[in-house]
Amino acid sequence: YWDHRMMHRIGVGWATHTVHHSSPHFNMSVAYRFGPLDAVFPLLFSFPIVMLGYHPILVLLSEVLVQQFQAILHTEAIRKLPRPVEFLFNTPSHHRVHHGSNRQYWDKNYAGMLIIWDRMFGTFEPEVERVAYGIDQPINSNNPFTVFLHGIRRMIAKIVRTKGVRNRLKVLVKPPDWNASE
> Consecutive sets of 10 residues in the chain, 182 residues long: mean pLDDT of each?
95 96 95 91 91 96 94 96 98 98 97 97 98 93 94 97 97 95 68
Question: Is residue 178 assigned to a domain?
Answer: no
Q: Is residue 179 part of a domain?
A: no
Residue 117 sits in which domain range? 2-173
CB 26 within 8 A of CB 76: yes
138 domain-assigned: yes
Domain count, the chain: 1
Distance, CA of 54 to CA of 62 (rounded, Å)? 11
Q: Measured between alpha carbons, how far is 87 from 175 in angstroms, rounded to an integer?
A: 28
Q: Does residue 28 lie within any of the structural domains?
A: yes
- N- to C-terminal Cα distance for the chain? 28
Domain annotation covers residue 109 = yes
Is position 182 within any domain?
no
Task: Determine the Cα–Cα distance for residues 96 and 121; give it in Å rounded to an integer.
Answer: 19
Task: Identify whether 181 is part of a domain.
Answer: no
Q: What is the pTM of this model?
A: 0.91
Name which of 2, 34, 43, 42 is nearest 16 in CA terms.
34
pLDDT at 182: 58
